[in-house]
Structure 1
Amino acid sequence: MARVTSKVLFLLNEHIATEALLGDAFAERGFDIDTFEVVSAARAHSPAGEVTFPDPTRYDVIVPLGATWAVYDQTLLDTWVSTEMQMMRDAADAGVALLGVCFGGQLLAQAFGGTVARAPRPEIGWCEVASDRPDLVPGGPWFQWHHDRWTLPPGATEIARTAHASQAFVLGRTLALQFHPEVDTDLLKIWLATDDHGDVDRAGLTHDEMLTRTEQLADDVASRIRVLVRGFLTQVAGRSLPS
């Protein structure tokens, strides 16, 4: 019997980078949700290693999520990052729609021929994003926590940016995001508790400031996430496959 309910797979590239609000938004659209933990908590301090990923053709949408590592780290490229990039290419070839978030967006850029490198400055906290396609990626403050940035893959169209980095591009049935639409206060508390490198302090912020701002923006972000997921499903995932 043919599958009726749409299915989305969230790839948890790091165990603390979960789907959070994005999972809620896909569930509201009637999706069955699967998750796959790429690097477990036990391997967090030594993330290189071989990974056997699920069959991408079992899903309508795959969402590679964030991580604290660099997608160009050679020890990771020699193991699971290259495997995950091939999974993304195989998924795209099979007509599976892709939505990448931060590390996941960078992985998509790298998988399809773009590059990723250290940015001149990190973006941490709530940053104003300018969008050419507010019906797909609404502009406004989105949460950021990244040190790297991408160059666009061949054929991709950038649709959002900040002064310091590209923030979103579309390539076929793929949408890559540099920011974190999934963040809520519960997820942010986990990230703040694991900020071993002092990123927040160096950004001139405090934990309390970031949490307060996240609480203040909660309703607005929830509304914009619904627009983003609806736009992705109708305008990106809903695009006709090339003949």
Structure 2
Amino acid sequence: MADLLVLQHQDDAPAGLLGGLLAARFGAGVRTVRVDAEPLPSGDDRPRAVVVLGADASAVDGGSAAWVGTEIAWIRRAAVIGVPVLGVCFGMQVLSAALGGRVHRMPAPQVGWIRTPSIDIQALPSGPWLSWHEDAVLPPPNARVLARDEFCVQAFAAGPHLGVQFHPEVTPAIVDDWIAADGRDLAARVYDPDELRAQTAEHAPAAAQAALRLFSRWLRSV
């Protein structure tokens, strides 16, 4: 089993900025599993930590795809035996569901660059962060909310586990891929693609530094 397991769900949602940090820390000990296309490791395989990335899929009511429920159950078992989990966006929703929280559909998507009103600036820098989601969570029992805004809970911690609703891993290239996947007509109903690209170019350097601090803090617990 790898030291660190990355659960990826689609081609255009890779580990991004986090991938380089994990490679430097764990080297060949990082394994990526495409949950939408291959089975998760058996119960006998125990990584030192797990990262759950974003996805277009939904975890509302157990999941919009068959593999979502399987992944939630797998993360629940990993958490029970003490494997630290970092959940990013959809990954935060999977983590919340696995730990006894709830996932619900928002009245409208939240897409764009935000700053989180963090209650623990050491554990969670204020950003800037890219938000891109239409589901949100009610955190699991005994979780500590690290940030929330008028839309939703933006981050929580539960023991060694950390969930963030935004995307600290994104690069400008990933954002371009997501805009292209939406298509201009669909995107225009939620955000202005040209404005979002300009904001991404403006915020990317500071966001990368904030992401490094967030990821490094979590990895120290691993």
Q: TM-score, normalised by structure 1?
A: 0.82
Q: Give the structure 2 partner of residue 120 of structure 1.
A: 107
Counterpart pick for 2:34 among 32, 37, 40: 37
Give the CA RMSD over aligned residues.
2.2
What is aligned with 1:61? 49
What amino acid maps onto 2:202 in structure 1?
Q
Q: Secondary structure at the match of 1:95?
A: coil
Corresponding position of 1:232: 218
Instruction: Count matched residues.
Output: 220
Matches within 5 A, 1:1-243: 7-31=3-27, 32-40=29-37, 52-55=39-42, 57-72=45-60, 76=64, 79-196=66-183, 198-206=185-193, 208-234=194-220, 237-238=221-222
State the shift of 1:39 in Å: 2.0
Encode CA deviations 1:117-171: one digit per residue, 9 max, x unaligned: 1112221011221111111110032101111110011111100122211011011
Closer, same or farther: CA 73–7 of 1 in aligned 2, 3 Å: same
Deviation at 1:64, TM superposition (A): 0.9
Q: Return closer, same or farther for 1:75/1:65 CA change in 2, 3 Å cut-off.
A: closer
Q: 1:214 to 1:28 in 2, by over 3 A?
A: farther
Per the TM alignment, residue 18 of structure 1 is displaced from its structure 2 partner at its CA by 0.7
Tell me the alpha carbon deviations over residues 21-46 of structure 1, each in whole angstroms, 9 at most, x when there is no partner. 11122234345321111225xxxxxx
How far is 1:178 from its partner?
0.4
* TM-score (norm: length of structure 2): 0.90
Answer yes or no: is the 8 Å Cα contact 1:15–1:39 preserved in 2.
Answer: no
Distance 1:97 1:198, change over 3 A: farther
What does residue 43 of structure 1 align with?
A: none
Identity of aligned residues (%): 35
Return the offset for 1:58.
3.7
